Amino acid sequence: MQTIHMCDLYGQYLTMKDEIDTAIQDVIKSTHFIKSGKVLDFEEKLATYLKTNVVSCGNGTDALQLAFMALELQPGDEIITTPFTFVSTVETAVLMGMKPVFVDVCADTYNLNADLIEAVITDKTKAILPVHLFGQCADLEKILTLAGKYSLFIVEDACQALGTDFYFEDGTVKNAGTIGDVGCNSFFPSKNLGAFGDGGAVYAKDEQLTNKIRSVANHGMKAKYEYERIGMNSRLDSMQAAILEVKLKYIEKHIKARQNAALFYDEKLKNIDEIDLPLRVKYSSHTFHQYTIRTEKRDALQKYLGEKGIPSMVYYPKVLHLQAAYKNLGYQKGDFPVAEKLSETVLSLPMHTELQAEQLEYIVKNIEAFYENS
């Protein structure tokens, strides 16, 4: 059996090697490494796939900053979000002088508990920032209602959810990241659509807002050497765009492969009492950026699997409201008990597009063995 990886980027590359190698060579031959037609080509293809407007940028963290800047959020503005996420979700907001206001998450979906949002809305609240953690959407319909009632923006952190569908109660289906005012995505190599380096994208329905995002990402430029606003330099380079354009063709196949692996885990692990499986909600598909279980014996299980050559990861071992960097926000241990408990009990199992049946069998067999003997 081949070595089991948490995420097998090389194995995946081999399945598209000729196309990717050619795409890279074409960029080298063109010498248009920055702001080429390749970048626009890719943006257009992604926009078609998502049925929205797309502006590519340097990474997912920048995507969030571009969203906040284009929406003209100001120092002192409050944004409501989850403490159980990657640090980027709040980092740029704090850099811009804004104040993240956390609400706890749901234990079974790991996503923002929409029922807790209304209680923390103040007259300084400007936006709600749901994160579609691990590839499944937060409860957007409830969030949309609140945003409408209090005139708030919705910025979706869809960095882990490219390709995820949101199902509205009336039957409408939309892509994660295209439902709020702005959506943010990352092409970090291990994400659902990963580059061979950094990359990101911002989505917006509104044309004017899209143009503003494009201007902010390009130094606030209006015409050459004429600047209409303060911007930043955030761009996807042509090499990454060329690689992503190839990989985008296979996104559905890759999502299917993740979902099949997840179904296998579900089926084989569901009878182990001491494990809670990731819940599937009726309002979202799940693209399994991660397959994350919960268990009281998390650390012992992780150690046991490690000894058997099975990698696993803890996303996330420490909640944001207790991080030293964010202690000025004034939160304390116990403020968000569900998120805190998750940080002690979650474990993400190997999840990627190249997992083989034999490897999956070996993983679940060892998980079963661990619980039989513990």
Ligand X SMILES: *Cc1c(COP(=O)(O)O)cnc(C)c1O
Considering the complex, what minimum distance in angstroms separates the CB of residue 160 from ligand X? 5
110 versus 188: smaller Cβ distance to ligand X:
188
Q: Is the peptide bond before 362 cis (omega within 30 degrees of 0)?
A: no
- DSSP class of 284: B
Q: Are 93 and 64 spatial neighbours (Cβ–Cβ below 8 Å)?
A: yes
60 versus 177: smaller Cβ distance to ligand X:
60
Considering the complex, what minimum distance in angstroms separates the CB of residue 295 from ligand X? 23
Residue nearest to ligand X (CB): 60
* β-strand partners of 184: 157, 202
Please give the C-alpha separations between residue 129 and each of 95, 140, 240, 304, 309, in angstroms, as whole numbers.
16, 10, 27, 37, 38
Task: Count other C-beta atoms under 10 Å from residue 332's C-beta.
Answer: 9
Read out DSSP for 304-366? HHHHTT---B-S-SS-GGGSGGGGGG---TTSSHHHHHHHHHEEEEP--TT--HHHHHHHHHH
Considering the complex, what minimum distance in angstroms separates the CB of residue 134 from ligand X? 9
What are the structure tokens assigned to 276, written together?
A: 């809670």
91 versus 206: smaller Cβ distance to ligand X:
91
59 versus 109: smaller Cβ distance to ligand X:
59
62 versus 354: smaller Cβ distance to ligand X:
62
Considering the complex, what minimum distance in angstroms separates the CB of residue 89 from ligand X? 5
Considering the complex, what minimum distance in angstroms separates the CB of residue 201 from ligand X? 10
Give the β-pairing of 53-57 and 200-204.
antiparallel
Considering the complex, what minimum distance in angstroms separates the CB of residue 18 from ligand X? 27
Considering the complex, what minimum distance in angstroms separates the CB of residue 133 from ligand X? 7
71 versus 162: smaller Cβ distance to ligand X:
162
**Cα 323–Cα 325–Cα 326 angle in degrees, nearest 5:** 70
Task: Count other C-beta atoms under 10 Å from residue 337's C-beta.
Answer: 11
| Cα–Cα dist 11/84, whole Å | 30
> SS3 string of 207-235?
HHHHHHHHHHHECCEEECCEECCCCCECC
Residues in the chain: 374
What are the structure tokens assigned to 138, written together?
A: 């937060």
86 versus 102: smaller Cβ distance to ligand X:
86
112 versus 360: smaller Cβ distance to ligand X:
112
Considering the complex, what minimum distance in angstroms separates the CB of residue 200 from ligand X? 5
Considering the complex, what minimum distance in angstroms separates the CB of residue 158 from ligand X? 8
52 versus 85: smaller Cβ distance to ligand X:
85
The residues that touch ligand X, with contacts defined as CB under 6 A, are 59-61, 85-86, 88-89, 131, 157, 159-160, 186, 188, 198, 200
| Cα–Cα dist 110/291, whole Å | 12
